[in-house]
Amino acid sequence: MGTSPWWGYHPGVDVTMIGASPWCGCHHYGNIPWCGCHPGVAVTLVWLSPCRGRHRGRATLSSRPLKKGEHPMCKEHEDERINIYCVTCEVPTCSMCKVFGAHKDCEVAPLESVFQGQKTELNNCISMLVAGNDRIQTIISQLEDSCQSTEENSEAAKRELCARFDALAALLEEKKAELLQRISREQADKTAFIQSLICQYKEQLEKSSRLVETAIQAAEETGGAAFLMNAKQLIKTIVEASKGARLDKIEQGYESMDAFSVSLEHLSEAVHALDFDPAEEDEEYFDGEEEEEVEENAAPERTVMASL
């Protein structure tokens, strides 16, 4: 066959057409250019006769996995290689799809030129991704260092806090021992005084008991002369003993120890109000902000994380 009148001529496009005649007995070869093809694209076309329905069963999808280095074949035309690129649809395709298939009205380009362009673009993307991964790894390392520093600083803060509370507890124990000692001294003084009074009263009781016995014996005396000889002196002794029994006494509430009561409500309130120094927190916070500003100025590439 010669040049087809149904196709517009494009110089430089070499298309070989292979087809069967209506009688399926002879094959004709010809060069047919088409619209939308880039110059220099050579495509082999197969002209199907009216009896091409017999061969439609051969255009089946292949599920066979593609081996490395093997040229991919068209899914719609299993005998055709993928040899051109549809610029409109942005997919590789074959010559038959351009002439008779879904891409007949699309713009195509040589596969090699598109391959090199997209391969370069992919390499650039890989480089960008690797650079982004390096930055992420750097940030991960910095975060891990920050985590370790945070743990170390936390342990140091805990040790310092425990030391301060231990010192406060030791001070409280010392003060408690001092106050207990004062109470013990007061207790010893009071009990000693009370014990001395008990001894005095016991001595007085013993004297009074002996005087009572003497008076009873005198009262039992039956002889008047004998009684009168001792009665006057005995009565005088009893009167003097009664007058002289003016021993010390303890005051009411002497045994009370209320004077040694300590109010700890203000200390309890102070303990409940204990908290970390806000000035230190603010200082650390501002220092952290300054460090972040310095790090951001020194390493502005960290901000690319948001775009990854």
pLDDT score for 33: 40
Mean pLDDT computed over 103-107: 84
By percentage, how much of the chain surpasses pLDDT 90?
Answer: 30
d(CA 288, CA 145): 15
Q: How does the average pLDDT of the chain come out, rounded?
A: 74
User: Could you tell me which residues come within 8 angstroms of residue 279 by beta carbon, excluding any fewer than 6 positions away?
Assistant: none
pLDDT score for 207: 86
Phi, psi of 191 (to 5 degrees): -65, -35
Output the six-digit token pair for 282: 């603010």
Mean pLDDT computed over 207-214: 87
Phi, psi of 147 (to 5 degrees): -65, -45
Helices assigned H by DSSP within 220-303: 224-244, 265-272, 278-298
- The residue ranking higher by pLDDT, 164 or 245, is 164
Q: Given pLDDT bands bounded at 50, 70 and 90, which one contains residue 208?
A: confident
pLDDT score for 279: 61
pLDDT score for 48: 39
pLDDT score for 214: 84
The reported pTM is 0.48
d(CA 44, CA 33): 10
| pLDDT tens-digit series, residues 153-199 | 999 999 999 999 999 999 999 999 999 999 999 999 999 999 999 99
